[in-house]
């Protein structure tokens, strides 16, 4: 494995769809049993929905030696950004990949006029919640239904 300094963050290319699907699947597979089937499918995407995400959101990938090792998506509407689909391959966790992805998407959304960013997460993702809190996100009181699961909102002011 390479050092985290060799990670490159770049916009997604159409050829990255398969690698993003593999990354999402690997990152969320340990939580499959804690997700409803519909929530899991919406989280890991498929051949069709990954391309919808490419059209609707700004998608970034983290690469090492040209291979996708992480991804994140974001969109900005009326000054508010929203993040989705943060995933890092298990063997690349704790090497700074997620922090680089998060900083890059925050920078992209800020450049598009966002002054606040929201994201949603689920209860099984305790490590993700700690990561977001460490990076300035605070849990709001908003809890939505995500295919039968509680969906917790986090907010960060830029």
pLDDT for res 3? 55
pLDDT tens digits for 70-102? 999 999 999 999 999 999 999 999 999 999 999
Q: Which long-range contacts (CB under 8 A, 24 or more apart) does 151-154 make?
A: 151/120, 151/121, 151/122, 152/120, 152/121, 152/122, 152/123, 153/118, 153/119, 153/120, 154/118, 154/119, 154/120, 154/121, 154/129
CATH number of 4-115: 3.40.630.30
> 14-40: per-residue pLDDT in tens?
899 999 999 999 999 999 999 999 999
The 10s digit of each residue's pLDDT in 149-158 is 999 999 999 9
The pLDDT value recorded for residue 39 is: 98
pLDDT above 90: residue 4 = no
Domain limits, the chain: 4-115
Rounded to two decimals, what is the model's pTM? 0.95
């Amino acid at each position: 494995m390479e050092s985290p300094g060799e990670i490159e963050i770049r916009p997604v290319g159409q050829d990255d769809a398969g690698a993003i699907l593999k990354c999402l699947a690997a990152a969320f597979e340990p939580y499959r049993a804690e997700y409803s089937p519909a929530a899991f499918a919406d989280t890991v995407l498929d051949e069709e929905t990954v391309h919808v995400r490419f059209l609707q959101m700004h998608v970034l990938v983290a690469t090492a030696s040209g291979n996708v090792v992480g991804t994140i998506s974001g969109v900005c509407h009326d000054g508010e950004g929203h993040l989705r689909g943060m995933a890092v391959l298990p063997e690349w966790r704790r090497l700074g990949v997620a922090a680089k992805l998060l900083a890059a998407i925050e920078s992209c959304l800020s450049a598009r006029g966002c002054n606040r960013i929201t994201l949603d997460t689920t209860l099984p993702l305790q490590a993700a919640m700690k990561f977001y809190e460490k990076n300035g996100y605070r849990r709001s009181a908003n809890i939505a239904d995500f295919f039968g699961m509680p969906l917790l909102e986090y907010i960060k002011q830029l």
